[in-house]
Structure 1
Amino acid sequence: MMMNFHDIFEVFECPVCEGFQLYYTHWNTEEAYYEDYDIYEDGILLFPPIARVNLNDLPKSIRSAYESALRVKNIDNTVCVIALRRTLEMVCKDQGAVNVQLHQKLNQLQQQGILPP
């Protein structure tokens, strides 16, 4: 019996931002795939490169706020920025920053070594 291995490289265009993504997936005849299996589930986004954030290390409420902001980033920039600011405010509160203005809170966390310069 002959085995077949397939490396699949696909280019997708986002209908919202009209940006492109290069995606890699692998498929072979030796694997057993269930009926509704999505080959993209185990795929890798090759382009554009994105910074990886380990969301599992975040408190659940902060992770949820961050994920909500990311869902709208290519739909409405203003809403995304507002949601990211809300997420930063939640991080500051979680870390005990007590200043009034967001930039003061972020500076406080930086001075404490919690945030990088």
Structure 2
Amino acid sequence: MAEEMVKYLQSLLHSVDGLLGIVITDRDGVPLLKAATENAPELGMRPGYLSTFGMAADQAGKLGLGKNKKIVCIYGNYQVIHLNHLPLVISIFGTESANTGLLMDLESHLSPLVSQLSGVVEV
């Protein structure tokens, strides 16, 4: 089953220009599924970076605007989108020129996969 999920993630890598990687982690940043191209930022794929989303989402929630659902970070060469699907987090990596809207739209393609994984993680 995990192999099929990784193959699905690999197929999504070719569906959007500039998409470099997709990582599905638990709330602590431990990778459960990962698919990436050779150009994906290696440091961004590490658990140390991936775990920071939880802290950032908690801090953003303290602004009084409600629960944080998404965070978009744009750096010099990359953009990173974190999607909150607790107990799982989806991190999407793209080039700086990738269409951010298309990257965010991947959430609709990844939601069924995350639903299956959530059931396993919660048990």
TM-score, structure 1 as length reference: 0.33
Give the number of the structure with larger relative contact order, counting CA–CA contacts within 8 Å between residues 6 or more apart.
Answer: 2
Task: Pick the structure with greater CA Rg.
Answer: 1
* Larger relative strand fraction: 2
TM-score, structure 2 as length reference: 0.31
